Amino acid sequence: MDTLLAGKLALIVGGSGGIGAASSRKLAEAGARVVVTHTARSAEAAQRLAASLPGEGHLALPADVADTASLERLRDTLRDRFGEVLHILVNAAGFTKPVPHADLDALDDALIDRMFQVNWRGQFAAIRTFAPMLKASGDGLVVNISSIAGSTGVGSSIAYCAAKAGIDVMTRSLARALAPTVRVLGVAPGVVDTGFVPGRGADFNAKTAATTPLRRVATADDVADAVLACATALRFSTGTTVVVDGGRSL
Ligand SMILES: NC(=O)c1ccc[n+]([C@@H]2O[C@H](COP(=O)([O-])OP(=O)(O)OC[C@H]3O[C@@H](n4cnc5c(N)ncnc54)[C@H](OP(=O)(O)O)[C@@H]3O)[C@@H](O)[C@H]2O)c1
């Protein structure tokens, strides 16, 4: 185990998902104490993950990013347990539902609202809720998991692409607003081998790999390596989004 992040507290919102879990592991391996969040769907997986991480004192706690009150309860729990300071917040929660871009009727108001509620408002609400604790660290970091869909306009639905474009703008705006005590960075994967997009499996990944310059899709660890780099190597970067797509967006 490394000690680069020893003494740091990291909160991984969506920590029970593919990218969230891999990021939790990388940060714990670097010495951070990690809190992963889960919804009612993934409580057991999150508990197992927290128990399996290297190091001491990791926790799994509930939070639904669409329910700001649950984020505030999470903040109060962290304060009670660990005090006023949070060093790292990773926003890795998200969902999608594939909708062909030409099928305008299928992208109805309810789906658009849910897409922005979970994939944009939820990330902002998490940052708003934890900003005082991140500032109190004097050297805080937010990492927003975005997607190249936000810049290419190609993705599981037009609303998903738009929410991720909104995440990239949020990263830039908040990097200015929260400086100098908190850095805000994004990590934008292309296709990642997780269960994120319903209906996408090995066939889709193989086709994508064949048309990607580096000839494979990303693993969750590829993305987690970039999250770790934000916390360790990229010390003078803020307001920018690191693309981890094997050249897919070229
Ligand atoms: N996989 C890809 O190809 C890909 C590509 C580009 C970007 N991304 C982005 O990467 C991030 C993580 O995705 P992933 O690939 O790791 O997918 P994943 O394995 O499906 O993980 C998604 C996570 O988000 C959580 N989540 C969903 N709705 C939530 C809510 N309302 N409140 C709190 N947590 C919620 C899920 O928790 P539950 O399991 O409890 O629902 C799960 O932990 C997402 O932002 C996604 O847009 C993924």
User: At which residue do the structure tokens 């799994």 appear?
Assistant: 60
For atom 20 of ligand 1, the residue with the nearest CA is 196
For atom 7 of ligand 1, the residue with the nearest CA is 147
Architecture of domain 9-244: 3-Layer(aba) Sandwich (3.40)
133 CA → ligand 1 middle, Å: 24
Q: Is 95 in the pocket of ligand 1 (CB under 6 A)?
A: yes
* 19 CA closest ligand 1 atom index: 16
**10 - beta bridge partners?**
34, 88
* 164 CA closest ligand 1 atom index: 47
1 pLDDT above the threshold of 80: no
Q: Is 65 in the pocket of ligand 1 (CB under 6 A)?
A: yes
CA 239/CA 173 separation, integer angstroms: 7
Contact 9, 82 (CB under 8 A): yes
Identity of the residue numbered 61: L
pTM (2 d.p.): 0.98
Contact 5, 29 (CB under 8 A): no
Q: Is 208 in the pocket of ligand 1 (CB under 6 A)?
A: no
Q: Is 161 in the pocket of ligand 1 (CB under 6 A)?
A: no
Q: Is 19 in the pocket of ligand 1 (CB under 6 A)?
A: yes
Active site residues: 160
pLDDT per position as a tens digit, 122-157:
999 999 999 999 999 999 999 999 999 999 999 999
Q: Supply the pLDDT for residue 219.
A: 98
At residue 2 the predicted structure's pLDDT band, cuts being 50, 70 and 90, is confident
**Angstrom distances, CA of residue 144 to CA of 77, 83, 127, 214, 215:** 22, 24, 10, 24, 26
Domain coordinates in residue numbering, the chain: 9-244
For atom 8 of ligand 1, the residue with the nearest CA is 147
At residue 247 the predicted structure's pLDDT band, cuts being 50, 70 and 90, is very high
